[in-house]
Each structure stands twice: as C-alpha cells, then as structure tokens.
Structure 1
Amino acid sequence: MASNISRALNLRHLRAFIEVAHTGNFTRAADKLAISQPALTSTIHQLEALIDVELFQRTTRKVTLSPDGEEFLPTAERLIDDFEQAILAVHANAKRRKGLVGIAVLPSIAIRLLPRVLENFRQSHPSIRVNLRDDNARGVQRQVLRNEVDFGISNLWEDRPELEYTPLFRDPVGAVLLADHPLAQETSPLPWSKLKGYSFAAMSHDTGVNALLNTTEGLPESVYSPDFEVLTLVALTGIIEAGLAVTALPKLAMPRFSEPGLIFKELTDPFVERQVFIITRKNEPLSKSAQIVLELLSAALAEPEQLLAKPIQN
C-alpha cells in the first residue's frame, strides 16, 4: 500500500501543498505556481485522496492547515529541499567533470585580487574555466553549503560543522574618509575614539563587515548604531563622498573609483582585522580542476599586499 502511494505521489503534489500552506489561499498559490486554480484544487484533492488524509480546513473565507497538514508540512518542505539539493549536486558534479570550477567570493576580493591571479591561471591552464560568483559573507557560505560552487573565499559568517575553514590572510580595518576630512589630516593612525561626534555609515547587517564590527568591543556607539546602513559598497561610497558620514572597512574593500578621492586611515585601540578563509565542504574531496585552482589561489592570495602592487598582465 505504502509503495503504491509513493509511486503515485510526485513533486507536483508536494509543491502544490506547500504553496497553499504558505499562502493560505488557492488563488494566490495558483498564481505563484503558474497554473489554474481548478488544476491546483484538483492536485490537492488527488494528494488528500492518495494519503487518505485531509490536509486543509476550508471555509468560505480562508484555508488553514489541519493538524495532519501541520505535521506533514515540514516533511514535505524537507523532501522538496532534498530533491533540489540533489539536482544542484548532480549539476555541480557535471560541471566539474567539464573543467568548470565555481568560486563564491567576497566582492572586494573578486575586484581587487582575483583578476591578477586568474589572468595568469588562464594562460597556464586554458582548459579549466573559472566561474566567479560574488556575494556577501553569508551568501558565500550559503553557496558552499548548497553545493552551488566548489569552494568559497570569505571571512567567517557562521561556524558550521559541515564546512571547513582554512585561514588565507588577514585584512586590517581602517577609516574611509574624504581626502579633505579633518581626520584625514592626522599623520598617525587613528584611535577609534576619534570617530566620536561624526555620523557613521555601515554596511547592512547581513555582511561580514557589519558582523565583525558589532562583535568588537570598545568601539564608538555610532558604529553600533549608525546613522546610515546600506546594502552595497556603491551606496556607501556615495554617502562618504557627499560628506554625510565616515565609515570603516577592511583595506581590500576600500573603494578605488571615488571622485573626489577617499583615503584609508589605519584604526587602532582596538586594532580590528577580518580573517579571510578558504571555505570548503568537510569530508568532500575537490575535483582535480578545483584543487588546481585552489592551490594557485592559496599561494597567490597568501600575501595580498604584494599582489595589489602587481599590474594585471595583458
């Protein structure tokens, strides 16, 4: 009996059930699934008939989960998620066999460091293609966890037991200011206390920079409760260039495209730095192509200051 039911059930039934459960409305669920409402209603009826359980309690005004439906929902969501993860894994493995290596990486590293490394790599390994997917720290870790890339390059967002973090380099945090800002005229490194009294602009809460600063003690209150919080480095740069605030960033995240120019001033008392890691899935060997790329990147990025001084090869 159970085997007959499992053969009759399919992903269409599960997706329909989950969407109705989430929206509480057949019309909205049908729109999200891009099917007609009668087709959706028929699919739910089929599912309930197959398992001989009423999953929803229906009234003329709303649809809610029955007790059995509430119990079934987490299982249905897990089955869909497991299926999607399996498809992603198959797709990723197929790409690796074709010599395509996916890397999730912080934008500052993708912009400032990797072009120089990958230009040389492309000349020495023309058969291996590298796909860079820039994201914030949380996004990099998520991509590695979901098997969407071979490995990631990021600071630590969250210590997950499924992942392995190999230290790569450290990146000091400093103040980013307009070149004519009063603090820019200081000849020695700035203590954090010097930022008191100035409006502060911060990156959003789901970035590694924000997490780093908010877990560091002894900073000015304006850092923990900024006047501005933005999603992108471009928006942050605009605020600083307009003279509305100051900010603090890792050195590699320092904007290079500013007009008028911005400067980076080392911050001390306390000294703050982000540690950048190579992030891989634990107990899962990399493909030969990914291993080649990883070894080259690890060697080249171990001393980022030297790499920044080198021009991109043409």
Structure 2
Amino acid sequence: MKSAVNMRHLRAFIAVAREGSFTRAAEHLLLSQSALTVTIRQLEEQLGVSLFNRTTRQVILTADGENFLSSAEEVVDKFDEAIIGVRQSAAQRGGQVSIAVLPSIAIRLLPEIVQGFHDAHPDIRVTLRDDNGRGVHRQVLDRDVDFGVSNMWHPYPELEFTPLTTDRFGLVCRRDDPLAKIDSPLNWTMIDEERLFVMAGDTGVYKALQESDEFTERFQTPAGEVLAMVTLLEMVRAGLGVTVVPQLARPAANEPDLIFRRLSNPVLIRKICLIRRRNEALSPGARRAWDAIRAQVPREVDI
C-alpha cells in the first residue's frame, strides 16, 4: 500500500520534536495550532504509532518517536539538499548555453541573433558547435549541448523537433557555365547527372535531397560526393561540374567565380528544426536562447 506520508508531515513532526511544543512549532511553520495537530495525527495514523507523549506542560517524544526522528531528519535534509543542488545547477547552466548547429545555419542565420541575445542577456554565454546533420542529432542525444538546429537526420523517439524555417535548394555553378547564362527559371531537368557533384550521404544536405523522389529517380549516379561544403564549392570553382545546395549554404554574394540560382519543377526544400530531448526542460538560459531564435528566424529563407 502506498504511504500517504509526505514532506509536510515530516517537517511538522521535526518541528514539534525540536520545539517541544505544538504552539512554538506552529509559529515556526506559520501554521495554526489546529492544522499542526491534524498533521501530526495523520502521521501517527499512517505509521500506526504514537510519536509524542502530551501533557498540559510539555510534549515529549515516545520511544517510537525517538527512533523515527533521526530518519525523518535525514530524509528532509537530503530532500532539501537535492532541491538546492538542482537550483544551483540550473543557475550555473543558465549562464552557459551550448547549441549544436549546421555550419550553414551558424554562418547565415545566427550571428546577428547571437549578438542581439548577448546584448540583451550579457550574463549568458552562447557557444555554437557546428556539425553535420548526424552530428547535431548525436550531440543533443548525448546531452553535450542544450539543443540543436538542423534538419531531421533520423526521427529519434528521444528527440522533439520544432519547425523553424524552410530552406530552398538551388544550383551553384561557375559564372561562365552555360547554365548561368539561361535567362528563364532553372529546373532540375537542365542538370546533367554526369556533371553533378553532391554532398555525401553522411550530411544533412544529402538527407534532405533524398526525401525527394524526383531527385533520387533522376540522379542515381552523380559525378561525385564530398563530405565538406568547402570542398564541394572548390570542385565547382575548378570547373569540374555543378552542385545543388540549400540557399543558406550558397556562396557569398561577393563570390567572384560562383553564382547561386533557385531551382523549380520540383521546388525542393530543407526543413530546419529546433531539436531538443523530449520531455526534458531546458535551463532558463537555454530557454531564452531557444525563444530568441524561434522569434527572429524567418519562417522561410529568402534571398
């Protein structure tokens, strides 16, 4: 049978034992004497023993009360220590927030947000840990970070995904490439599979492309795969072919050799989410950072 004894009963018992008086114990606990008397009676009924010998002049512990007192004090002390420890840990973590994030998100979306957040909360330090899609998920799963920002690598049941924004795919090619000179909107049928380089299967970009049946059916054997975005763009810059990337991963606007153009038919997007462990509360600082990112990132990336 589950016991109905709780911390309220134990604190009341300890107060009466220490004060030797229901009146003084009630004052200490900020209770009425009648409420305290009822609480002690409930405790005694649950334990099946009398804890105090009551006289008109004093309240004295019985033998059972003496035996129970040290155990009750130990339970209350450990409970209070646990509460203090949790609060101190939350306060410490509240001043340090770690976020796992895709490199393209870290570069394109977060610098201004992090700077604004620092200005508004100078006591909270934000650390960005850039990684590929698999790595972001793993860091969140392993509790190495407070939360992550990425597209869905795998629908882990331990993780909760909150939609943040969408990121449309486009073509990256050299400025002197024939595709760059086409005035009409570009579509996927214009891309030669033998010239297409893509991100490797261990990346979030590749995972997002694989969600499209049109892509997987048309581009079964691309010219090559690479793991790092910088390597991919260098291969295009060298004239080896073209590539497709989300807008956030596009070359810089002042890039002299490369251009980015959106692709249609079909429009492929990468869905970016905020990622956290399911049913686990964020620290106060992490919650503020989460809310700031969610409020300031546009629902759709536009260029």
Query: What is the deviation of 1:264?
Result: 1.2
Q: What's the CA shift string for 1:201-222, capped at 9, x where partnerless? A: 1111110111222331223767
> Hey, what does 2:180 align to over in structure 1?
184
Two-structure CA RMSD over aligned residues (Å):
2.2
Do the aligned residues in 1 keep the contact of 2:199 with 2:229 (CA within 8 Å)? yes
Separation in 2 of the partners of 1:95 and 1:186?
57
> Hey, what does 1:202 align to over in structure 2?
198
Separation in 1 of the partners of 2:294 and 2:226?
31
Separation in 2 of the partners of 1:257 and 1:146?
37
Taking the TM superposition and a 5 Å limit, the aligned residue runs for 1:91-240 are: 96-97=92-93, 99-196=95-192, 198-219=194-215, 223-240=219-236
User: Which runs of 5 or more structure 1 residues have no equivalent in the other structure?
Assistant: 1-89, 309-314
Do the aligned residues in 2 keep the contact of 1:174 with 1:265 (CA within 8 Å)? yes
Q: With structure 1 as the length reference, what TM-score do the two structures score?
A: 0.64
Q: Which AA in structure 1 matches 2:260?
A: F
Shift in CA distance, 200/258, structure 1 to aligned 2, threshold 3 Å: farther
Q: What's the CA shift string for 1:172-229, capped at 9, x where partnerless? A: 0011111121111122221101002551111111101112223312237673322221
> Hey, what does 2:79 align to over in structure 1?
none
Do the aligned residues in 1 keep the contact of 2:166 with 2:299 (CA within 8 Å)? no
Do the aligned residues in 2 keep the contact of 1:192 with 1:220 (CA within 8 Å)? no
Q: SS at the partner of 2:214?
A: coil
> Hey, what does 1:293 align to over in structure 2?
289
Separation in 2 of the partners of 1:260 and 1:180?
11
Q: With structure 2 as the length reference, what TM-score do the two structures score?
A: 0.67
Query: What is the deviation of 1:266?
Result: 1.3
> Hey, what does 1:83 align to over in structure 2?
none
Do the aligned residues in 1 keep the contact of 2:94 with 2:283 (CA within 8 Å)? no
Separation in 2 of the partners of 1:302 and 1:252?
12
Do the aligned residues in 2 keep the contact of 1:113 with 1:304 (CA within 8 Å)? no
Q: SS at the partner of 1:175?
A: strand
Q: Which AA in structure 2 matches 1:112?
A: R
Separation in 2 of the partners of 1:135 and 1:161?
21
Percent same amino acid at aligned positions?
A: 46
Q: What's the CA shift string for 1:245-281, capped at 9, x where partnerless? A: 1100000011228753311111111110000000010
Query: What is the deviation of 1:289?
Result: 0.5
Do the aligned residues in 1 keep the contact of 2:98 with 2:146 (CA within 8 Å)? yes
Q: SS at the partner of 2:143?
A: coil
User: Which runs of 5 or more structure 2 residues have no equivalent in the other structure?
Assistant: 1-85
Taking the TM superposition and a 5 Å limit, the aligned residue runs for 1:267-306 are: 267-303=263-299, 305=301
Larger radius of gyration: 2
Is 2:240 aligned against 1:244? yes
